[in-house]
Structure 1
Amino acid sequence: MVVYVTTQGTKIIKEGRHLLVKKDGATYRTLFTYKLQQLILYGRVELTASARSFLLNEQIDTVFLRLDGRYLGRFAGGESRNVFLRKKQFDLIDDDTFNLRVSRQILSGKLLNMITVLQRIGRTRKNRQVDPCIRQIRSCLHKMPAAKNINSLMGYEGAASAAYFSGFKLGLDHDFGFNRRIRRPPTDPVNSVLSLLYTMLINRVYAAIRIVGLDPYPGVLHRMDYGRQGLPLDLVEEFRTVLADTLTLSLFNLRSLQKDDFQREESEPVSDESNSEANGIDHLEQVVNDPLGRMNNCDAEDLFDIPSQQIIDDNGGNGVAKIRIRLTPEAFRTVLNAFEKKLATEFFHPLAEKRMNYADALVYQVRQYRRVIEGELNDYQPFLLK
């Protein structure tokens, strides 16, 4: 079970073998730690010393985020005891042939999924404006086999992502000011929701990596950088559109989110560096079961796999203050609940040849990646939309 604590000014205390979420003397919720896999805290949520020690002793992944969803840090349990597996990961860091091959497989899946999503948008909305975007992505896809290094692959990914988001906006029923992917700060409602969902998704991929026993730092596509966990950034790619982009379309198109669910605030100048229950949420089941939002003639189970996108920064000039768009507290909970509902949705996984939910699919893909690391499989097969 994953628990989100979003109420500002709450305090989490230890009582016996469980935790209490309290505010102003009232108990908001009791957390039974034997059920708890991950605890995600947003904004001003206080942990007492005894609660902190308890979470560490129980090895419960505890994530700290700003109120706008920006990642701050985490408590995590001890590293995997399988030092031989971790050594193999680090040995492969310098294997350029391995890294290029697996990176190409990850990104090829991502681009194929982009194409499929845009095709569905074009077909169901009878809009041929997506066709040039699809052609650009296909062009990048066809160039990937000839790429001789990771930088070339990332260049093709960046170009494909720009084309994808040009088509993605055509999937929205109404104009919310979205023209392209902007990360810091998100300057329109759609980018705000995408950023929040990407953060939550990366945290879930990180948790899956720890479950499987891999080290989160060495990746193949996102190479070593001081303090950066590359593997979650690699393995989230095939799930971004499956679980974040399509959910974003549904939340807006089914009017679970509207313009008055967002607040404007002036952010700091930008530099070159750049409760899992649906309380009062309308259309939640429709949102979960219609990944693209009002896309008639599409079976939701057929949409289990969609691509991940490159996130770009748009600074609008050095030192220029931007207007940040944030979700209201109620809308914030709407997104969290819809995300957890989506993760619990079942579909038929063709590689596993059985039904599973999206949360289990994250773990399944990480286990497959581990088999590639250990040499049991030669190729990594990304999560593909059929």
Structure 2
Amino acid sequence: MKKLLNTLYVTTEGAALRKDGENLVAEVDGEERARVPFHMLGSVVAFGPVLVSPALIGACAANGISIVLLDRVGRFQARIEGPVAGNVLLRRAQYAASEAPDDIVRGFVMAKIANQRSVLQRHLRDYGPGEGEEGGDAVSAACERLARILRRLAAGLGGLDLLRGAEGEAAQVYFSVFDRLVRSPDPEIRFRGRSRRPPLDPVNAVLSFLYTLLTHDCRSAAESVGLDPAVGFLHRDRPGRPSLALDLMEELRPVLADRLTLSLLNRRQLRARDFEVRDGGSVLPGSQDGRRTVLTAWQERKREERLHPFLEEKAPLGLVPYLQAQFLSRHLRGDLDAYPPWFWK
């Protein structure tokens, strides 16, 4: 359990939440783990099977505290709240900002590119530059190209089309050297360029699987603060597409999904036998053990804590989408001058 931004996150399965006077009390196996006065709470987010007493539900509704219920993997299930006073205004602000989203999109794109560059730099620190490559090491060269793109964006020039173009250029640079980051001994496990629907090699299969999990988390995060997950800023609106969830996940992809993919493959936790090649050439994590390995590693990665650069406080990686959604909602309401993107340190 952790309290951040006036929100209590309950991540312990089997926890029980109850009302005691003017306080919320969280218990695990009958032992009190947290006590928070109602006047210090804005919302409660519960992951998985968590018991919430009827008395607490009534007290939270009366005090304007929303209760958000998510399943074990973070998919949105329900939002419990009293009379709604602010969501309609927040969504109107979101819709208005989507007509001129340049500043918000700049934050998403710069954080994504900076975090991609950090993934490449981590590889260089861990394994050193390559040898015998014409013109120097390709990964080092990619880092420099990403740095040039970041400097161009930091100058604040250009509008939405330029930002989208920069994001696409950076993705091409980043994935052009991604295979050099894969150190699996299995010759079948190679990255042959980004392929999505369907993934055509084991690396893409793991990336796509983790991106799907991350999309669920970001959609839940948007819904948990009252944002419309279908109306985004960087991604264009399309029927059935959670555009805002895709926006929120961009800055998190390199750290939460790409790094985890590399760890699973390079540490030989996933081998070629764990993948299935289907008709048409699509590749999927085929074995039950392989899927379990990915899901277990995903949950473990989300429990890791990192210093949030804006909060200046440590937070589990799994809560970052929810924190970023809160920052975005506060910016749209006018409480923050700008959206503070998340940079991996």
Q: TM-score, normalised by structure 1?
A: 0.64
Aligned-partner residue type, residue 163 of structure 1: V
Between the aligned partners of 1:86 and 1:79, the Cα distance in structure 2 is 18
Between the aligned partners of 2:48 and 2:318, the Cα distance in structure 1 is 21
> Are 1:217 and 2:226 an aligned pair?
no
Shift of 1:215: 1.6
Q: Structure 1: where are the runs of 5+ without partners? A: 4-30, 37-57, 65-73, 268-321
Matches within 5 A, 1:1-386: 33-34=49-50, 76-77=77-78, 81=84, 82-94=87-99, 96=100, 99-127=101-129, 128-144=137-153, 145=155, 147-174=157-184, 175=187, 176-267=189-280, 322-386=281-345
- Residues 123 and 266 (structure 1 numbering): CA distance in 2 closer, same or farther, change over 3 Å? same
Between the aligned partners of 1:331 and 1:35, the Cα distance in structure 2 is 32
Between the aligned partners of 1:2 and 1:233, the Cα distance in structure 2 is 27
Between the aligned partners of 2:211 and 2:282, the Cα distance in structure 1 is 20
Shift of 1:123: 3.0
- Residues 32 and 188 (structure 1 numbering): CA distance in 2 closer, same or farther, change over 3 Å? closer
- Residues 382 and 59 (structure 1 numbering): CA distance in 2 closer, same or farther, change over 3 Å? closer
- Residues 239 and 75 (structure 1 numbering): CA distance in 2 closer, same or farther, change over 3 Å? closer
- Preserved contact between residue 205 and residue 232 of structure 1 (Cα < 8 Å): yes
Aligned-partner residue type, residue 328 of structure 1: S
Between the aligned partners of 1:178 and 1:345, the Cα distance in structure 2 is 27
Between the aligned partners of 1:349 and 1:61, the Cα distance in structure 2 is 23
Aligned-partner residue type, residue 137 of structure 1: L
Higher relative contact order (CA 8 A, sep 6+): 1
- Residues 75 and 32 (structure 1 numbering): CA distance in 2 closer, same or farther, change over 3 Å? closer
2:125 alignment partner, SS class: helix
- Figure out how many residues of one structure are paired with residues of the other and give that number: 272
Greater displacement, 251-260 / 204-213: 204-213
Between the aligned partners of 1:352 and 1:245, the Cα distance in structure 2 is 24
- Preserved contact between residue 306 and residue 314 of structure 2 (Cα < 8 Å): yes
Between the aligned partners of 1:232 and 1:323, the Cα distance in structure 2 is 25
Aligned to 2:38: none
Aligned-partner residue type, residue 183 of structure 1: R
CA RMSD of aligned residues (A): 2.8
Q: TM-score, normalised by structure 2?
A: 0.71
1:233 alignment partner, SS class: helix
Shift of 1:78: 6.4
1:205 alignment partner, SS class: helix
Shift of 1:346: 1.9
Between the aligned partners of 1:253 and 1:339, the Cα distance in structure 2 is 16
Between the aligned partners of 2:241 and 2:201, the Cα distance in structure 1 is 28
- Preserved contact between residue 105 and residue 382 of structure 1 (Cα < 8 Å): yes
- Preserved contact between residue 162 and residue 180 of structure 1 (Cα < 8 Å): no
Between the aligned partners of 2:181 and 2:51, the Cα distance in structure 1 is 38
Between the aligned partners of 1:35 and 1:329, the Cα distance in structure 2 is 31
Between the aligned partners of 1:92 and 1:361, the Cα distance in structure 2 is 22
Shift of 1:324: 3.2
2:314 alignment partner, SS class: strand
- Residues 2 and 224 (structure 1 numbering): CA distance in 2 closer, same or farther, change over 3 Å? farther
Aligned to 1:293: none
CA-to-aligned-CA distance 1:64-97 (integer Å, 9 cap, x gap) = 9xxxxxxxxx885469842111121112222x2x
- Residues 75 and 102 (structure 1 numbering): CA distance in 2 closer, same or farther, change over 3 Å? closer
Identity fraction in percent:
34
Aligned to 2:56: none
Aligned to 1:39: none
Q: Structure 2: where are the runs of 5+ without partners? A: 1-10, 14-46, 53-66, 130-136
- Residues 112 and 352 (structure 1 numbering): CA distance in 2 closer, same or farther, change over 3 Å? same
Between the aligned partners of 1:117 and 1:240, the Cα distance in structure 2 is 11
- Preserved contact between residue 192 and residue 327 of structure 1 (Cα < 8 Å): no
Shift of 1:349: 2.1
Aligned to 2:64: none
